[in-house]
């Protein structure tokens, strides 16, 4: 397969990688993740925004492999908690914390919250980095409510606590196709797909 048609997804999260592959549905492209290519470096996501963190990941991986990179950063935003967990969503309960501990901490902090106070949204910035300092981004967002207990066994992260009112289900109760059709990540990656398609068409000329 031509080098230009190899793209790296800057993630080790196989659940996220599966979602990205399904959303982009790229043909004749070898989409590899960090586990596939043996990338073991730690990436310090110290940005102040989702876009900054996505760019940090993409630049770091691109320097290592010199291949176009797809990255994203996403998180849960709860206005009642002044925007927490935000860019710290994956490490809300501390470095190395798993989904269960992060979810438990969120529920504890919302223990006395009622009604609109439990309103939240998932936000995602997807980024396609295809040359030194050259990249495109797209954003996605989905509104919801934080439940009082986990529901559903699909998805990952805060999905079991994130209730989507117009569907009457949490994200973790949706099928992959249902989730991708309405999710923040789905919207963001559909947004950058046009840039990826344009890049692939150009390198194949």
User: Which positions are annotated as active-site residues?
Assistant: 73
What the block records as the tokens of 193 is 């797909």
Sheet holding 162-164, edge to edge: 30-33, 6-9, 69-77, 119-131, 134-146, 162-164, 169-170
Cα–Cα dist 168/56, whole Å: 36
Report the first-to-last Cα separation within the chain, whole angstroms: 15
Q: Which pairs from 107-114 meet CB under 8 Å and 24+ separation?
A: 107/146, 107/148, 107/149, 107/161, 109/81, 109/84, 110/78, 110/80, 110/81, 110/146, 113/80, 113/146
Cα–Cα dist 131/62, whole Å: 8
User: Is the dihedral angle over the CA atoms 36, 63, 76, 192 positive or is it negative?
Assistant: negative
Cα–Cα dist 199/205, whole Å: 10
């Amino acid at each position: 397969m031509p080098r230009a048609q190899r793209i790296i997804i800057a993630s080790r999260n196989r659940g996220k990688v599966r979602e990205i592959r399904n959303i982009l549905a790229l043909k004749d492209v070898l989409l590899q993740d960090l586990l596939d290519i043996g990338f073991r470096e730690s990436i310090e996501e110290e940005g102040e925004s989702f876009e900054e963190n996505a760019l940090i990941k993409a630049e770091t991986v691109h320097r290592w492999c010199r291949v176009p990179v797809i990255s994203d950063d996403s998180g849960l935003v709860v206005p009642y908690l002044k925007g927490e967990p935000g860019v710290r969503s994956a490490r809300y309960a501390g470095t190395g914390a798993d989904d269960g501990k992060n979810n438990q901490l969120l529920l504890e902090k919302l223990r006395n919250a009622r009604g609109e106070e439990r309103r939240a949204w998932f936000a995602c910035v997807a980024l396609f980095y295809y040359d030194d300092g050259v990249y495109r981004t797209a954003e996605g967002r989905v509104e919801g409510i934080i439940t009082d207990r986990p529901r559903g066994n699909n998805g990952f992260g805060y999905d079991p606590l994130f209730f989507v009112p117009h569907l009457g289900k949490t994200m973790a109760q949706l099928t992959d196709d249902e989730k991708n059709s309405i999710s923040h990540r789905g919207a963001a990656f559909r947004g950058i797909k046009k840039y990826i398609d344009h890049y692939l068409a150009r390198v194949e000329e």
